[in-house]
Homo-oligomer: A and B are copies of this chain.
Amino acid sequence: MRARDIAEAYPVVGVDTSALVAARLIAGDRLPGLVVTDRDGTPKAVLPASEVVRFLVPDYVQDDPTLAGVLGEVPTEWLAGRLRKATVAELLPVRPAELAVLQSDDTLVELAATMARLRSPLCAVMDGKRVLGVVTAARLLELVCGGQPE
């Protein structure tokens, strides 16, 4: 079994994609994150769902989390408003984690080793320069131990 046999179709966003669109893609399919490509289509980074959540929170609350309790209930529109004005590039951490990238003929062990090393929730599988699909950690676990008898 090779990476190409395991990779699944998966939304890929560009650095210029609206942050709100990216958030909805994650929400709609309950994804652990998204693969972000550069303007030339090269995979650039993983955008973990937690980084999008981080962007919802105003900087002054991130700096002092006790303020979150003081704010009380805020309308979800207020939180979504921050995403509406931003692009995916703004959601990425200053030093994004290294993206796990595999080639289509890489083996299951190579896939697991790369995801393990980068502690990444997903990796991009390439066919040359094109993103063929994505493998999530959950998908890999399904293949390895999903259907086996006890």
B contact residues around A53 at 8 Å (CB): 112, 115-116, 137, 140-141
Q: Which of A25-33, A35-43, A124-132 binds B?
A: A25-33
How many angstroms from the CA of A50 to the CA of B137 in the assembled complex?
Answer: 6
> Smallest CB–CB gap between A74 and chain B, Å?
6
Q: Is A136's CB within 8 Å of the partner chain B? A: yes
Q: Is A94's CB within 8 Å of the partner chain B? A: no
Q: Is A87's CB within 8 Å of the partner chain B? A: no
How many angstroms from the CA of A52 to the CA of B76 in the assembled complex?
Answer: 34
Q: Is A145's CB within 8 Å of the partner chain B? A: yes
Q: B108 and A26: CB pair below 8 A?
A: no
Copy number of this protein in the oligomer?
A: 2
Q: A108 and B73: CB pair below 8 A?
A: yes
Q: B49 and A83: CB pair below 8 A?
A: no
Task: Please judge, given known A-B contacts A23-B141, A144-B79, whether A61 and B109 are in contact too, CB under 8 Å.
Answer: yes
How many angstroms from the CA of A140 to the CA of B80 in the assembled complex?
Answer: 11
The list of the 3 closest CB pairs from A to B, nearest first, reads: A49-B137, A27-B142, A54-B116
Instruction: A24-B145, A26-B138, A32-B121 given; name 20 further pairs at CB < 8 Å.
Output: A20-B145, A27-B139, A27-B145, A30-B138, A30-B139, A31-B138, A32-B138, A48-B119, A48-B137, A50-B116, A50-B119, A50-B121, A53-B112, A56-B112, A57-B113, A57-B116, A62-B116, A68-B110, A79-B108, A79-B112
